[in-house]
Every structure is written in structure tokens, then in C-alpha cells.
Amino acid sequence: MANFEGDLTGLSEKQLNFIENVIEKRGYVNPKVTVQPLGRAGDNYIAIVKRITVEENGETLKIVAKVAPVIEDLRNTMQTKEVFYNEHVVYTELLPKFTELEIEAEIPKKERLRYAVCFGSLDEEPNEIILLEDLQEPGFTLLDRFKALQNDQMKLIIENIAKLHALSFALKNKEPETFGKIRNKLYNSRLHMGKEPTTKHFLNHIENQFLDLLVEEKYKQAIKGKISGMDGLLGKLHKADKDSKHLVIQQGDCWTNNVMFRLQDENVVECCMIDYQFACANLPVDDVYQVLFNCSDYDSRAKHFQEWLDYYHMYFTKYLYHFGLKADNVYSKEQFESDMIRYGKFALGQAAFSSSFLLKNDEDAEKMKSAMDSGITELTDEMLKELTSSGSSSMVKLKTRLEELVDSFIELGYL
């Protein structure tokens, strides 16, 4: 029997039993199991993340546990049941299937899509928990979420996104029924934003806060309606694209904190995406927009944006070749660039909305996380103010980021 110690906060008896069963299947009989909180405020607003260290007879196993919150109001607001099930499906069905395809195509292991090994996943609500390989063991680390990624770091993420998308097309080509079944299991949480009154109120509040923060009319007009109307903008796109032959399974939430990098002699040599809670069927451009705008600043976009677009499609084309597919037949460069324009208004709203979370310092993020964890039955204006408040330095950064996002979208021709 496992001897648990440490921070067991948020872990139910059923989840502890599940962890113990997973450990036993890996050959541990009476191990010492130490549980510690992992990460800092602002790293993850949806899950409780813990590091589990298993020790017995000189053997050590380290696991990262993503644990669902049990507070009903928080679960409803954050769509916990659905997003945890998304990740369950991705780790237990989709990614292993992708690896099968890569092995069949004789792609060398070092070139395949890298993801954390899933030791076990329990999808029974409200006890959802996913146990993953601790990527710190092979040398992966998180980078500073407040800094724009360098060109080589950005290209590594682009490679991973391109592999993910190419594998979607390969699966759709070789096993269309399997692709269809997995696609239908995944929940597009953003499509349901406007149906939840609490969420709609939250989006309106964020947009109004931004409009008060911005001074120049140019920026106000660009932002107005993009956040409060995100659900409508996405709804129109989804209606037009729901039967598109260009759909892939997207990562869905690509930003710096959802990617770990492995460094060698201070140079990045590999990266791994670590969060698939918002995975769903969508066009490839949604992932591309997220990584290129969530992980960059104005200067890097001005210098490298077209280079990044070209690199994505080049690597996408290269990876498709392993499966006997041609980009011109499944997702051409012309179609890709056309979709980038078509998704522009929604992408700006998404990037702006994400900024309200990405730029929060640890203190502000902790306040927001604590407020969310306490349970929310109704979002009053006073509660919203408390949830979204930030220090003056954070607000200055936010204003600059919003202005630079608008400038980039205008200059790139996406508005």
C-alpha cells in the first residue's frame, strides 16, 4: 500500500486510489509517495497541478498530476467536465494513434511529435485526474511567460503545430472513421461561451475594461466588439467550416506556459506541448494565430511574421510527405493565407482576451485564482472588478500589448 504524504489538498479518496493503482501497475508495492504543488499563480487557471514523487528500494518515479476542481460553480463556469474529457481523449486515444502512424511511416523517433507519456487518466466526474510524465526529468523547462519567444524558440513550436496538423490529415486520409469518432468526442468550449450568462458577462466586462484603458480612438474601434462578440464571430466561422475538408484536431491553447523546452548548452533543441484541454476540430489557422500572437511582441512580428508563416507551411508540407500526401491537395499555401485573413477579426479578439491572463503578475494571478477557487455563483460588477484588477505596472504592459496587437493586425492586413 502506498504511503502518501505532503500536499494532498484537492485530491479525493477516489483520485488517491487511482494514483495508487497506477503506481502498483508500474511495479511499486509499498512506496513512499510525496505530493507537492507545482507551478505558480497564473500558470494554470483550470486545473490543480501537482508533482508526485514515488520512491521504493532506490527506484524513483516522478509524475505530474492534473487534477480537476470539485467546486460546482467553478466547474460550470470553466466547463471542467468537458475540457478534462478533451485532454483524456487526446492523451489516451489521439496522440497514441498519431504515434502509430509515425511508426508505420518509419519516421525516426527523434523526429516524431513529442508529448508527455500518459500513465493514467480518470474521466469520472468530479474526480477527473490525468497522470503524465514529468518532463523536467528529461530536461524540459518552462520559459518566462512575460518574455516574447526568440525566433528559434518560436520555430520549434511552429514545427510541433505543423506536425500535429499534418498527422490529423494523415489520420483522416488513412482512417477517416477513427478521425471522425475522435473529432466528435472533442468539445469546442469557445463555441459555447455566449450561451453561458456568466461567461458572456465576463467577456463584456473585459472588453469595457480595455476600452477604458485605451486612449486613441483607433485602438478603441479595433477592439470594440471583438471580445464581447467572440462567440458570434466564431459561430459564423464554425458554421462555414464545420464540414470543411481542411479541419484538423488543433492544440487549442498554444502559449508560452503550455509549451516546455529542452535546452542544450543554453540553446533550445526541442519542445513539447503540454496542455490539450481546448483541443477540438478546427482549421489549422486557429493554432497558428495563437502561437504567433500569444508568444511574440510587436518587434518580433514586424521582423519575422511572414518568415513564420512560410516556415509553418514548409514544415507542414515536409511532414505530410512521410504519409504520401501533398499539401496542395489537402491544405495549400493559398488556402492557408486566405484563412488567415478570414479569421483575422476573431483572432484579434482572442489575442486581446488572452492578454488579460497572460500579463498578470504572480500577485494578481494568485488573487484571481483564489477568487475562482472560492466558488462563484454570480458575477456582480464588484466581483468582476476584483477578479480582473491588476497593478499599475501590469496595466501599462496590458495597454502597450493591446496597442501593439492592433498595430500588427492592421499592418498585416488582417483587419
Calculated CA dihedral for residues 398, 400, 405, 411, nearest 10 degrees: 170
Higher pLDDT, 81 or 45: 81
* Whether pLDDT at 368 is above 80: no
* Whether pLDDT at 268 is above 70: yes
Residue 45 burial by CB count (10 A; 0-12/13-18/19+): exposed, middle or buried? Answer: middle
User: Strands (DSSP E) along 232-318, which ranges?
Assistant: 248-250, 259-264, 267-273, 280-282
Contact between residue 11 and residue 35 where contact means Cβ atoms under 8 Å apart: yes
Q: What is the mean pLDDT of residues 366-393?
A: 57
Higher pLDDT, 126 or 45: 126
* Whether pLDDT at 362 is above 90: no
* Whether pLDDT at 41 is above 80: no
Q: What is the mean pLDDT of residues 51-61?
A: 97
How much of the chain exceeds pLDDT 90, in percent?
79
The model carries a pTM of: 0.94
Half-sphere exposure of 267 (CA within 13 A, CB side): 3
Q: What is the mean pLDDT of residues 193-200?
A: 74
* Whether pLDDT at 371 is above 90: no
Q: What is the mean pLDDT of residues 49-73?
A: 94
Most confident of 68-77, 139-148, 191-200, 320-329: 320-329
Q: Which domains does the chain have, with CATH numbers?
A: 143-411 (3.90.1200)
Q: What is the structure's pLDDT at 381?
A: 56
Q: What is the structure's pLDDT at 73?
A: 77
Q: What is the structure's pLDDT at 45?
A: 64
Q: Nearest to residue 286, comparing CAs of 228, 231, 343, 356?
A: 343
